[in-house]
Amino acid sequence: MLNDIMLGQYLDRDSIVHSLDPRIKILLVILFIIVLFISKTLLGYAVLGGFIIISTLIAKIEFKYILKSLKPLLFIISLTLIIHLFLTKGGEVIWEWKFLSIEEKGLNLGLFMAARLIFLITFTSLLTLTTSPLELTDGLEKLLNPFKRFGVPAHELAMMMTIALRFIPTLLEESEKILKAQKARGADFESGNLIQKAKSLIPLLVPLFVSAFRRADDLALAMEARCYRGGEGRTRMNELHLSRADYLIGGATAIFLIFVAILI
């Protein structure tokens, strides 16, 4: 039951998109999202859709992984579509049945909103699919660095993200172990109503929290033992360097996206 959760979505491929600097990728995703919300024409959306498809092809990512990322949000997307279809009024009436009716504006807006959500999710998942978690946190730290003077703890945020990512599999393994141990004592996690089910999770959650805190203590100690004192003056093995290709690809894509936002 715990194996269903998709983890470490990063797919290692040899592509231009993969080798692009993570900072450029993060900035492009932000720009893409802005453009997505500015753009209001059908042509604009068609171009953005095409842009996602082409980027996916260049990144050598199979489309099934992109579609997989949509699965958890399918419910929200369809809900948005349905609410807009029936509740947004205006324009010609397209379909009518008793008190329900679909009008032109509702259809348009619904489809646009759905497309917006789908584009948003697929393009951001393209970022996590082509960027390893480590690169991602590195890039984020570097991007947040200028805001340090305003009190943004850039290094600490990045470190927290790295640690959280690192411990997800460990905690999953741990919960599976505890689950089995409690099952061996006759615990029942499957049957009963919602309240009973929630209650039956106590024997799993309490030990899980205890062990998470113990691990956190151990980790803090281990980090201190290796002289960790926060990000101040810390050097890295792999420094992020913007190459000419990064500037070129990043610049060209940015210009393209801004062009889409302004002209179509």
Binding site for another protein (CB under 8 A): 177-178, 180-188, 202-203, 206-207, 210-211
Q: Is there a contact between 215 and 167 (Cβ–Cβ < 8 Å)?
A: yes
Closer residue to another protein, CB minimum distance, 86 or 167: 167
Closer residue to another protein, CB minimum distance, 210 or 263: 210
Rounded to a whole number of angstroms, the minimum distance from the CB of residue 164 to another protein is 21
Encoded tokens for 1: 């039951």
Q: Kindly give, in sequence order, each residue whose CB lies less than 8 Å from that of residue 120, ignoring residues fewer than 6 positions away.
A: 33, 36
Rounded to a whole number of angstroms, the minimum distance from the CB of residue 204 to another protein is 8
Q: Is there a contact between 204 and 178 (Cβ–Cβ < 8 Å)?
A: yes
Q: Is 238 exposed, middle or buried (0-12, 13-18, 19+ CB in 10 A)?
A: exposed
Closer residue to another protein, CB minimum distance, 96 or 188: 188
Q: Kindly give, in sequence order, each residue whose CB lies less than 8 Å from that of residue 33, ignoring residues fewer than 6 positions away.
A: 120, 123, 124
Closer residue to another protein, CB minimum distance, 59 or 178: 178
Closer residue to another protein, CB minimum distance, 156 or 188: 188
Closer residue to another protein, CB minimum distance, 52 or 201: 201
Q: Kindly give, in sequence order, each residue whose CB lies less than 8 Å from that of residue 192, ignoring residues fewer than 6 positions away.
A: 200
Encoded tokens for 122: 């697929």
Give the residues across from 96 on adjacent strands. Answer: 101
Rounded to a whole number of angstroms, the minimum distance from the CB of residue 205 to another protein is 8
Closer residue to another protein, CB minimum distance, 221 or 252: 221
Rounded to a whole number of angstroms, the minimum distance from the CB of residue 22 to another protein is 33
CA distance 105 to 33: 23
H or E segment to which residue 109 belongs: helix 104-130
Rounded to a whole number of angstroms, the minimum distance from the CB of residue 200 to another protein is 10
CA distance 74 to 257: 26
Rounded to a whole number of angstroms, the minimum distance from the CB of residue 195 to another protein is 17
CA distance 65 to 194: 33
Rounded to a whole number of angstroms, the minimum distance from the CB of residue 182 to another protein is 6
Closer residue to another protein, CB minimum distance, 208 or 258: 208
Helix residue spans in 145-243 (DSSP H)? 154-184, 194-200, 202-225
Rounded to a whole number of angstroms, the minimum distance from the CB of residue 185 to another protein is 4
| Residue in the block written with tokens 């369809």 | 78
